[in-house]
Structure 1
Amino acid sequence: MTDWYKIYSADCALPPGSDLDELTAELAECLRDPDPEVRDSYPYGVLRTWIERDFIDGDRRIRLGNEMAARFADAQIQARTFAPLVLAMIVNRGDFCREWMNAFVRWYPAESDLRGHDARLGWLHAVAHGADLLGAFGCHRDVEPVEMLDIATARLVAPTDYLYAEREDDRLARAIALTLTNPKLTADQSVAWLDGIGADLRAVARGTTPTYVSNALRTLRMLYILADLGVSPQPGQPSRQLPHRDLVKRRIVEVLANDAKSIG
């Protein structure tokens, strides 16, 4: 097996005489490994850097993206949940295939294993990793951003007993906020997706709060903050403002206020 620590420590330089196709295939396998030390350490950092530096170029990125999209149907949870991280790297470089988005749309709202961290498998983070890809798609020129807002809604109202415990609400809110910076969205489209969440919350019977409702409310609260302050696409980059910032904030407040009436 390749010594990925050695490559990472050498500023991710390509080893002399190496076969990049073989190394890319090995990296792809590392990012489905059940051992978190293999999956989520140096191979991840090397892959991200090689994509950013265009070592893994256009054709290789497309092939890698196809492989990651196929993993959304994989039987192993860590394979499914690390696929969107890799795809987000690729989409953020500007690449896009409709098949990738279709596979993501089928997977993200339907994934039932939402554990953030597992003692044996390490980080899984389906909601957070999927949110990173949702935000990448939501900002891409070839995607209608309203599609990603609808998928975010579907994820938020999907019943689950998993309470977001590893900042999944922050990551999903950030992805939604990034999508809402897309200038293709009209004012109506920027808030219409909240109608479905509001209707779902109003339909919840009085009493104890379902777990998914808590998740949705926490996500909306963080979204309000990001709508107010702006959201940065990447660490260190300037924040983007939502074109329909005030309208989005007002609609979030209305949804949260209607939910508050059911408390008691």
Structure 2
Amino acid sequence: MNNEREELLKKLEEIKHNDYKEDDKKVIKETTDLMLKYIGDTDPHLRDELIYSTFCYWITEKCYFNSEELKEILNVILDKNHLFYKIGSEKEDSVVTRTFSMLVIDLLLYMNMQKQYLSLEEFNNLKDCVIRYYNEEKDLRGYEERIGWMHAAAHGADVLCSIVRSKQCDKETMLKVLDGFNHVLENTKYLLSHEEDERMATVVYEVVIRNVLGREKVCQWISRLGSVITPGYSDEKYIQRVNTKNFVRSLYFRLIREDNTTEYTDVLFKKEEELNNFLKYNKEIKEELEIL
């Protein structure tokens, strides 16, 4: 039995019971180090309900960490044993180390928006790591009973949304973020069935509403979606088409509710027509009705 892990679980249960209050700085430091060590534990109760929840409260609500301590956590999270732990592997438990590292990065970015503690150089390093991760992650499973949530595409999208929301984000970064979605949508193995499309659409919505990148560039990007899908059928093409179609629909219905978005929704509508193989039945049904 791993006594260190069991002690951590027991301590986090106690912290949760006490409304996440902890006055001893030494205990906070020791517990934080262990939470970082076990952030990819395969037990969803320890990983999600205890470690991640404690990070949420300690970082964003209790504000137990000063700027330098937040940077120390970030430096660990971005290393080869966390965000890039066994990057490129598939169907392995290592994916949760990477995806839950992303969730902690999102908390750290939230704090940077509240009180900018990252220099532009530090922010750029962070966003480069996140974009690199999103382009290199190959395990896009959403949820499995044994291990719980993995959700790389969704967790990554949440962090990318925080990046484009930041005042330190420039146009070039926004373009790289949008292009990162191509990697996910063009994958040929995983159907995104846990609302990853909605989380990704939120990022593009943020880009559109901020109106920094410009309408033309966003519309050009939308027009290129699905360009890798060639005619004919295969399981790989089916996955690419369905993932892209669902994303396009999610983004369409997100934007159609806003004013002055017709330029975007027109392009999305046309793109959905290209991806929807069932529209041919509309014509057949109408022709049958005319005969009757």
Whether the TM-score (by the shorter chain) exceeds 0.5 is: yes
Higher helix share goes to which structure?
2
CA distance in 1: counterparts of 2:207 and 2:66, whole angstroms: 26
| Structure 2 counterpart of 1:184, from 175, 198, 212 | 212
Conservation of the 8 A alpha-carbon contact between 2:245 and 2:276: no
Structure 1 residues 17 and 63: alpha-carbon distance in aligned structure 2, compared to 1, 3 A threshold: closer
Q: SS state of the match for residue 163, structure 1? A: coil
Q: Which residue does the alignment assign to 1:235? A: none
Q: Which residue does the alignment assign to 1:49? A: 57
Confirm or deny that 1:117 pairs with 2:143.
Answer: yes
TM-superposed deviation, 1:263: 6.7
Larger-Rg structure: 2
TM-superposed deviation, 1:175: 2.5
Which 5+ residue runs of structure 1 have no aligned equivalent?
231-240
TM-superposed deviation, 1:115: 1.0
Which sits farther off after the overlay, 53-62 or 121-130?
53-62
TM-superposed deviation, 1:249: 1.4
TM-superposed deviation, 1:190: 2.5
Confirm or deny that 1:89 pairs with 2:107.
Answer: yes
| Structure 1 counterpart of 2:254, from 223, 226, 234 | 226
| Structure 2 counterpart of 1:35, from 32, 35, 43 | 43
Q: Which residue does the alignment assign to 2:287? A: none
Q: Which residue does the alignment assign to 1:74? A: 85
TM-superposed deviation, 1:20: 2.7
Q: Which residue does the alignment assign to 1:207? A: 233
Structure 2 counterpart of 1:170, one-letter code: E
Confirm or deny that 1:248 pairs with 2:268.
Answer: no
CA distance in 1: counterparts of 2:276 and 2:192, whole angstroms: 20
Conservation of the 8 A alpha-carbon contact between 1:128 and 1:171: yes
1:19-53 per-residue CA deviation (whole Å, 9 max, x = no partner) reads: 33222212222322222221111221111111113
Confirm or deny that 1:7 pairs with 2:15.
Answer: yes
| % identity of equivalent residues | 21
Q: SS state of the match for residue 21, structure 2? A: coil
CA distance in 2: counterparts of 1:258 and 1:165, whole angstroms: 21
1:130-166 per-residue CA deviation (whole Å, 9 max, x = no partner) reads: 1111111121111222221121233222x22211122
1:222-242 per-residue CA deviation (whole Å, 9 max, x = no partner) reads: 111111236xxxxxxxxxx8x
Query: What's the TM-score once normalised by structure 2's chain length?
Result: 0.77
Confirm or deny that 1:257 pairs with 2:285.
Answer: no
Q: Which residue does the alignment assign to 1:22? A: 30
- Write the mapping of 1:138-177 to structure 2, written as runs, cut at 5 A: 138-144=164-170, 145-157=174-186, 159-177=187-205
Q: SS state of the match for residue 200, structure 1? A: coil
CA distance in 2: counterparts of 1:186 and 1:89, whole angstroms: 28
1:100-156 per-residue CA deviation (whole Å, 9 max, x = no partner) reads: 222222221232111112333221111111111111112111122222112123322
1:57-102 per-residue CA deviation (whole Å, 9 max, x = no partner) reads: 3212212122222223202211111111111111122245222222
Which sits farther off after the overlay, 29-38 or 76-85?
29-38
| Structure 1 counterpart of 2:71, from 62, 68, 71 | 62
In angstroms, what is the RMSD of aligned CA positions? 2.3
Which 5+ residue runs of structure 2 have no aligned equivalent?
1-6, 87-93, 113-117, 281-292
Q: Which residue does the alignment assign to 2:152? A: 126
Conservation of the 8 A alpha-carbon contact between 1:156 and 1:212: yes
Q: What is the aligned residue count?
A: 249
Q: Which residue does the alignment assign to 1:233? A: none
Query: What's the TM-score once normalised by structure 1's chain length?
Result: 0.84
Q: SS state of the match for residue 182, structure 2? A: helix
